[in-house]
Structure 1
């Protein structure tokens, strides 16, 4: 008689089939660089990995999976010993067959479990259907009583609906009047926006603003400062007046003031001079009434030339102050 799993017969502990298979596959991977594999042995390894990755096979066919792992181990051992390719292929064929048996066993048992579960679900659904039928009969009696009361409510509801229809008609008239006012307002706003855009375009042209990848940039040459100085020349503030007026008119826009120099002189001196000039321009705009939160200043020294410093014209082009204007949201793209 076959003993039950919970009897007291001593049993030899065996390693889990998954661990055996994993160990075999690890050995196979380690050995794969020693010599070329046979096609059947490579296929046996691949099919073993697929079986290990299949949840049904691991859970429902552990013994078959263990036997498949042992068969693959024998094939790998034969390959390591240098047995003939025929013998290796025979063992690999057996490993593939056992792996297939494990996969088929897992699939069959999983299908049987699903069928059993489906039968239990069918019984439950039948019981639920009979319960619903009984509940439906009780509900039908209640519905008949409710319908009588509903007829009385319908009469009262009809009167309320008539009054509601009247109110809705009046509301529709008010809504139509509101829609007309909104349409007129939208048309007026569209005209205002068009005029503002035209005015903005005119002002930007007057400021000589150029569209770049960083946005709108206004370049002020070396007309603001004397050579080596960070103090505005007499009358230079007038050159900034139009920019100050623009920023006050459009407070949502911000300006990044960047100072630049040529390469004449020490690099540290040029860095300091460019920063001081940017701060001077910002101070002049603040004095004109531009809000502090709209402005930022930064010196870049000789590090961002726009022309070569080997000619007087190139150096003059590099001695500049650039004003980078933000978009409508106030975002300024830095370097």
Structure 2
């Protein structure tokens, strides 16, 4: 798992350097300015992740669940206050800090999933048998999604709802109740799309971007041109043309398109394989924890695995024209400090869960061996 994370992270740093060079030079005069910032974010994330693995027991994380949820919701409220949140392209998603802007949705995701994992352990029986036990976590997810939609951040809201519902399903929540909630959620999402002009424009542009390639379909058509130019083995690292002010957000949401252009189908398949193996390893850690009776760790691993896998799938789908445009980064690869740091902390929690399970299993084996020897 560490090798997979390192490979994805290093590939992301290389692609950020390549995709951002033209824009960074025009804006700052330093071609590698955004690369150095991303490298600093990676260093911060690795430092915090190492501290999590080495110093914070899983039990402490579990007990902190309600407090972390309160902090996550507080951040989502603070960013909406006039004069507090930082607005970019019509969305208020960032809190300005001393050295960088914190995208609060990234922190809120992890806080919500930690709380849910703890709730599923504490109220496991009530979740499966009572309406109150089921509706409480659903209410938390709905409140979080509502605050995200107020920013607006439709993509993050969808990821949190989908991941949360998956965690409830894995914990044994009644299937009929889940289907009813999903039906209500799908109806609400459809209503939001139909009643919101910019969301409707994104949907129609996704269905036929070539109908208006210089306005509503511009970003997607440029992404598809980049993917098409890549061929089997790409035009070569650093040789992308679309990143030269043709493709908007080339180093953030559409980094995958630049990768496809420069590294081709071979590079795309390599990235898909890395993410697939990473999610598989995370789920394996969750299954091992569940088998060992450590249910909090299991639910947390499954939540993190589904979250990162789903977000990667959505980002790649958007870049390939398979899904409507959403403001979701490619985890561990796209430029952005909040996403990178929180993803590394989440993965560190998975490693901590698996490390504790292995240590306990090893101690148990030693005790049995000593008993047999005696």
TM-score (norm 1): 0.25
Q: Which has the higher contact order (CA 8 A, sep 6+)?
A: 2
**Bigger fraction of residues in helix:** 2
Which one has the largest radius of gyration? 1
TM-score (norm 2): 0.23
**Bigger fraction of residues in strand:** 1
